[in-house]
Amino acid sequence: MFESAEIGHKLEKSVYRREVPKLRRELLDLQYKLLKDGRFQTIILVNGVDGAGKGETVNLLNEWMDPRHIHTHAFGEMTDVERDRPEMWRFWQALAPKGRIGILFGSWYTDPILKRVMGHEKRAEFARRLERIRHFERMLASEGTLLLKYWFHLSRKTMKKRLEQLSAHKKTAWRVGPEEWEHYKHYDQFVDICEDALRETSTGEAPWEVIEGSDPYYRSLTAGKLLYDSLAARLKSGPPVISPPPPPPAPPLDGRTLLASFDYTRKLDSREYARRLVRAQGRLNQLTRSKKMRERSIVMVFEGMDAAGKGSTIRRITQAMDARFYRVIPIAAPSDEERAQPYLWRFWRHIPGHGRAVIFDRSWYGRVLVERVEGFATEFDWTRAYHEINDFEEQLTEAGAIVVKFWLAITPREQLKRFKARQEIAYKRFKITAEDWRNREKWPQYERAVNDMIDRTSSDVAPWNVVASDDKLFARMETIERLAERIEEAL
Amino acid sequence: MFESAEIGHKLEKSVYRREVPKLRRELLDLQYKLLKDGRFQTIILVNGVDGAGKGETVNLLNEWMDPRHIHTHAFGEMTDVERDRPEMWRFWQALAPKGRIGILFGSWYTDPILKRVMGHEKRAEFARRLERIRHFERMLASEGTLLLKYWFHLSRKTMKKRLEQLSAHKKTAWRVGPEEWEHYKHYDQFVDICEDALRETSTGEAPWEVIEGSDPYYRSLTAGKLLYDSLAARLKSGPPVISPPPPPPAPPLDGRTLLASFDYTRKLDSREYARRLVRAQGRLNQLTRSKKMRERSIVMVFEGMDAAGKGSTIRRITQAMDARFYRVIPIAAPSDEERAQPYLWRFWRHIPGHGRAVIFDRSWYGRVLVERVEGFATEFDWTRAYHEINDFEEQLTEAGAIVVKFWLAITPREQLKRFKARQEIAYKRFKITAEDWRNREKWPQYERAVNDMIDRTSSDVAPWNVVASDDKLFARMETIERLAERIEEAL
């Protein structure tokens, strides 16, 4: 991939001088168009060989355009807040919102490549991480993000020359330390591995552009023009067509579904409940205080039809925990900051660090439930969501999170009873709205969506727990006991 | 203040059992009313003596109400992100939004009290920190926050007994470590200093409530009822009347003002400009790379009438810096998450850590400029803002920030010229709207607001730099040179 980036590309200073003023005007113009359009963000990754002009290019882009609407992030050492969350968390936090340009200096490629070069990770692990990156970038592209990936390259000889030049000048010597020379020592390996990485991740929706970095005029004008072309094309012609995920799940031919064949009749009497509740809550409490929890976190997801008892079940769980340990996140309409980001962003921001739990009352599964049924998401959006969600939960798990998901299953008859009861009680009346009655009419569509969701997102690392919830006591007990079991297993 | 919290308050279990169910219903009801009302947040501080039931009370409040709408935060060791920002930053990050209840376990009182008890800080410093807390809490109350401060107390004898009890049981022994016994050893000093702190900070808008902690029934029911009473009263009768700040500034009797007597005619020719620009940018660049910057940060503020040249001046400054070093924050309409918080929250969130700079293109001064003139803020809000802003900038400075503020001063004539020019250039046309023309008509009101602002917020630690800006070249040069000077002085 680097062949034509080692031939010594060059540009006359006079050409550069002539071209740049026009390019700047055009870039600035496009930047403001993007800001006004506001429907997507542009994310530029700046990666490559040391000394190939990455920093200079980032500065130049900030100089050519209006830096007030550019979000530049450089990724160095992880902070302690970042360290006990999934690796991608810090990149999610740094995503520029729609309408803006984000420049990422160093990116999700840096760590996999360096770990591989230094021999800290095997080939298979490297391949797995590239695979994850492909999925992530595909998700970004599907969400409308314009993702531009620039790789700045230098031949071995030029790299050496460049490092020597930088070291020789007082003003630039600080930029070359032992780390840079160490990288140079591994040049061949480094370039080999980068070549693999770039080839494996040059996809239709987010191809790499390799730019030879030895001549500043050539390098700068190339980067600027590439950005101009991509942004102009995108603003003109709209988002690219991304090959759709597999067709939406078809209902089973025999009409038998998981939920339809589920046993809703299980019950627990109140004496038994009282007895077991104390024990189960005690067990849960002890588990959350276990020393092993310091390296783990818990992410709980509660989903269910309206009035399935999510709130009251969650309260039986929080009762068992110290209030400093958990946080409950009720998911309602997104804020405008959340709307300006890819779908999963609003969940990523709440991911707990080690030693903490987060309980989602409704969750990212909204996409394949309410958004699917009500048509808030396109078919393309909700069908691709299954994979995106699985990938998200896998990342959580790998970072030490114990992901526990509950579907509180009630029958339409029981829901009706509860709706009516709620209307009787003053402080519960606000919980029942016209919308709840409307949703109820779509019960079959919702049930189909739930069946598909469970089929497609019940994974080894994060299986669904379907809990019979017509009887509240049974549901609560079952939930707490299964939760404690899952945590115990995981620790 | 603790006298009546050492008399051994007690409640019969039967009374507790009878009262609690009703209290829970009422609290839950109020919580949902608060959520629906959405106009203010309730913040509960839980502080006091070790072993007095603070943790139990926090858990109980979460149990009695709906934990989905409670934001509980416990403050332990600072993270590395928190450490190089002002002390109050972490508390600002933890403020519950309007409609919610925030419970802070440990608070802005913890550190000043402990430092004083351990003798790490002198009396004068302690007094200064309490003074700052009073201002902060007054600001919260003025913004509508219902701030409840609960202090859980134990007599010396009861504390010892309680620590021994906790240590004796396997399940609770983990809660008593060397730190708790250390605190016990300093009991007398601790209580003395706490008494001072509580007395000094029991204000009309945010009084302390002292609760004796030895009997769990008494303690819990008291805390619950206090919360109920305050919340019910507040929801019923609206925000308290807070004594207004000093009356708004009157115009000087002789009609002479700072801006009116300012010399707008200063100019720079372009040859001189080009020559000095390179030098000034180079100097600025070196300063930002200085080793001393690792312990400092820079907060720049740019204000000026429309078309005063804020954007283009900012670009001359960012050109001189590495893009990884700075972040530009353009201030426009607040997002809905920002609207759900006290006014200064949206600025606090962008405060840089050490070794970084943030450039605000418009800022918190909007409150005393556009919001004052256009009537978006009440007189009460903008008059108290002067002091709140001075306090904010003082905190920044103490945490190592170099605060540099620029007012780019242009004449109405020059503004008109620029408005007209903008309408000529395609990519600048979007920058000029009907609103700009409307604002222009209010020039005298704006000028008065600017005069007042400069008079009241030009402090030793963060003086205003008024820069003659009818000539763009002069304004840019003057700004960069003054900026470099300020940084140099500060390092």
What residue spans of A186-269 are helical by DSSP H?
Answer: 187-201, 216-237
Range of the domain at B390: 270-490
Evaluate whether residue B252 is within a structural domain. no
Say if the Cβ atoms of B327 and A36 lie within 8 Å: no
B322 min Cα distance to partner chain A (Å): 6
User: Considering only alpha carbons, which residue of chain A is nearest residue B358?
Assistant: A68
At B257 the pLDDT is 83
Maximum separation of any 2 CA atoms in chain B, in Å: 89
pTM of the model: 0.90
User: Considering only alpha carbons, which residue of chain A is nearest residue B54?
Assistant: A323
Q: What are the chain A neighbours of B67 within 8 Å (beta carbons)?
A: 314-315, 318, 323, 326, 328
Say if the Cβ atoms of A328 and B68 lie within 8 Å: yes
B32 min Cα distance to partner chain A (Å): 8
Domain termination site, one of A221, A237, A253: A237
A3 min Cα distance to partner chain B (Å): 30
Query: What does the pLDDT average to over B365-392?
Result: 95
A290 min Cα distance to partner chain B (Å): 11
pLDDT in tens, chain A (491 residues): 798 888 889 999 999 999 999 999 999 999 999 999 999 999 999 999 988 999 999 999 999 999 999 999 999 889 889 999 999 999 999 999 999 999 999 899 999 999 999 899 999 999 999 999 999 999 999 999 999 999 999 999 999 999 998 888 877 787 788 888 888 999 999 999 999 999 999 998 899 999 999 999 999 999 999 999 999 999 998 888 888 777 778 888 887 888 888 899 999 999 999 999 999 999 999 999 999 999 999 999 999 999 999 999 999 999 999 999 999 999 999 999 999 999 999 999 999 999 999 999 999 999 999 999 999 999 999 999 999 999 999 999 999 999 999 999 999 999 999 999 988 876 666 667 888 888 899 999 999 999 999 999 999 889 999 999 999 999 999 999 999 999 999 99
B320 vs A: CB within 8 A: no
Say if the Cβ atoms of B67 and A322 lie within 8 Å: no
Residues B383 and B465 in one domain: yes
Evaluate whether residue A244 is within a structural domain. no
Rounded to whole angstroms, what are the CA distances from A3 to A155, A161, A202, A265? 9, 19, 16, 68
A3 vs B: CB within 8 A: no
Evaluate whether residue A264 is within a structural domain. no
Dihedral sign (CA A54, A56, A57, A63): positive
Q: What are the chain B neighbours of A64 within 8 Å (beta carbons)?
A: none
Domain termination site, one of B237, B257, B278: B237
Q: Is the pLDDT of residue B491 over 80?
A: yes
Within 149-188 of A, beta carbons closer than 8 Å to B belong to 174
User: Considering only alpha carbons, which residue of chain A is nearest residue B65?
Assistant: A315
Of B36, B67, B324, the CB nearest to A318: B67
Q: Is the pLDDT of residue B466 over 70?
A: yes
Residues B276 and B347 in one domain: yes
Evaluate whether residue A245 is within a structural domain. no
User: Considering only alpha carbons, which residue of chain A is nearest residue B60?
Assistant: A319
Say if the Cβ atoms of B323 and A28 lie within 8 Å: no
- Alpha-carbon dihedral angle through residues A304, A308, A312, A313, given to the nearest 10 degrees: -50
Comparing C-alpha atoms, which of A485, A481, A477 is closest to residue A312? A477
CATH number at residue A116: 3.40.50.300
Say if the Cβ atoms of A72 and B174 lie within 8 Å: no
Say if the Cβ atoms of B58 and A323 lie within 8 Å: yes
pLDDT tens by residue, B324-358: 999 999 999 999 999 999 999 999 999 999 999 99
B77 vs A: CB within 8 A: no
Q: Is the pLDDT of residue B246 over 80?
A: no
Q: What are the chain B neighbours of A67 within 8 Å (beta carbons)?
A: 314-315, 318, 323, 326, 328
pLDDT band at B104 (very low <50, low <70, confident <90, very high): very high
Residues B370 and B428 in one domain: yes
Strands (E), B66-193: 70-74, 101-105, 146-153
Residues B290 and B203 in one domain: no
Evaluate whether residue A259 is within a structural domain. no
Tokens of B484: 């470099």
For residue B145, give the 3-state DSSP assignment. coil
The burial class, CB within 10 Å (0-12 / 13-18 / 19+), for A321 is: buried
User: Considering only alpha carbons, which residue of chain B is nearest residue A310?
Assistant: B68
Residues A332 and A420 in one domain: yes
Residues B232 and B286 in one domain: no
State the average pLDDT for chain B.
Answer: 93
Interface TM-score (ipTM) > 0.90? no
Q: Are B221 and B211 in contact (CB under 8 A)?
A: no
Query: How many residues would you count in chain A?
Result: 491
Q: What are the chain B neighbours of A314 within 8 Å (beta carbons)?
A: 67-68
Domain termination site, one of A187, A219, A237: A237
A252 min Cα distance to partner chain B (Å): 37
Residues B215 and B275 in one domain: no
Evaluate whether residue B265 is within a structural domain. no
Q: What are the chain A neighbours of B319 within 8 Å (beta carbons)?
A: 59, 63
Say if the Cβ atoms of A29 and B427 lie within 8 Å: yes
Residues A31 and A132 in one domain: yes
Q: Is the pLDDT of residue B432 over 80?
A: no
A289 vs B: CB within 8 A: yes
Range with lowest mean pLDDT among A126-135, B268-277, B281-290, B435-444? B435-444
Q: Are B219 and B212 in contact (CB under 8 A)?
A: yes
At A426 the pLDDT is 63
Residues B466 and B403 in one domain: yes
B318 vs A: CB within 8 A: yes
For residue B302, give the 3-state DSSP assignment. strand
Say if the Cβ atoms of A323 and B72 lie within 8 Å: yes
A77 vs B: CB within 8 A: no
Number of helices (H), then strands (E), in chain B: 21, 10
A58 min Cα distance to partner chain B (Å): 7
Evaluate whether residue B258 is within a structural domain. no
Domain count, chain B: 2
Residues A464 and A353 in one domain: yes
Residues B226 and B294 in one domain: no
At A427 the pLDDT is 61
Residues A185 and A292 in one domain: no
The burial class, CB within 10 Å (0-12 / 13-18 / 19+), for B152 is: buried
| DSSP states of A430-449 | GG--HHHHHHHHTHHHHHHH
B32 vs A: CB within 8 A: yes
A118 vs B: CB within 8 A: no
A270 vs B: CB within 8 A: no
Query: What does the pLDDT average to over B321-326?
Result: 93
Evaluate whether residue A208 is within a structural domain. yes
Distance CA B196, CA B151 (A): 13
Strand partners, B146: B42
Q: What are the chain A neighbours of B80 within 8 Å (beta carbons)?
A: 79-81
B314 vs A: CB within 8 A: yes
Say if the Cβ atoms of A174 and B289 lie within 8 Å: yes
B328 vs A: CB within 8 A: yes
